[in-house]
Amino acid sequence: MAEPRKLDWDSDFFGFTVVEAHSTRSGEGDLDRVVGAACQMGATLLVYTVPAGSPVSLPGRAAHVDVRHTYICDYSRITFGPPEAAHLIEFHEGRDPLPELDRLALLSGQHSRFFNDPLFPRPAAEALYTTWMRRALTREFGDHVLVARDPDGVIAAMYSGRIDSAGFGVPDLMAVDPRLRGRALGAGFLQTSMLHYRERGIVKGRLRSQGRNRFARAIYERLGWTLAACEDVYHVWLGVPPVKEYSS
């Protein structure tokens, strides 16, 4: 049975209480109990996750927002040669926010549950991805940032990677402006990051990908990532989220 828990960071950032619950089996009959518990916790949003295909009877103001794919990888078994598009990719050492990186951060979130749930406040979703990008730059929430530039020298593609609390090397944000697409930058970013982790002795990788982002999932699978889990994610709104001002 799923046990709800409050997401403290999310709740503080968004300005409303977010609770999540993961069920490891069919969600039939379990959601009502979880909703009741989340209401007791003062939740505005319940994020409910079950194995893909599980039957779920949704209450009002609830939606299926993602099919979350979890991939794992053993970096020690990498067999590819030099990364694709290596001549276009550079490690970005700057730590200050940049408008072009903020814009790419929003582009990286286009397939996320935050942007695809019409009830999720759009300013909150945009502030979340901008904050993640800026924390990656300062290394508060990241290990390295990769970029590629257009012919005018403007950053038009980016990738960020981090190391999680379990020591996994995690591909995080990635976005390529349309004018640089078709140059294998997605694969090149991921290959560069994987080799970077391996050179540092980090041999295990893990990531979560949105089901609707078929392009990214195809890259992961081509480069040797293994699908470990597939889950349905639901947003159950138990209240109306307040409007919050986010600093730019």
Q: Domains of the chain (ranges plus CATH)?
A: 5-68+233-237 (no CATH), 72-228 (3.40.630.30)
SS3 label, residue 84? coil
SS3 label, residue 159? strand
Q: How far apart are the first and last CA of the chain?
A: 41
Contact yes or no for 96/137 (Cβ under 8 A): yes
Single pTM value for the model = 0.94
pLDDT band (50, 70, 90) for residue 155: very high
65 burial class (0-12, 13-18, 19+ CB within 10 angstroms)? Answer: buried
Output the pLDDT for position 2: 77
Instruction: Give 65-97 pLDDT, tens digit per residue.
Output: 999 999 999 999 988 889 999 999 999 999 999
The dihedral region occupied by 35, where left means phi > 0, alpha psi between -120 and 50, and beta the remainder, is: alpha
Instruction: Give 206-243 pLDDT, tens digit per residue.
Output: 999 999 999 999 999 999 999 999 999 999 999 999 98
**120, 7, 129, 98: CA torsion to nearest 10:** 140
Output the pLDDT for position 27: 52
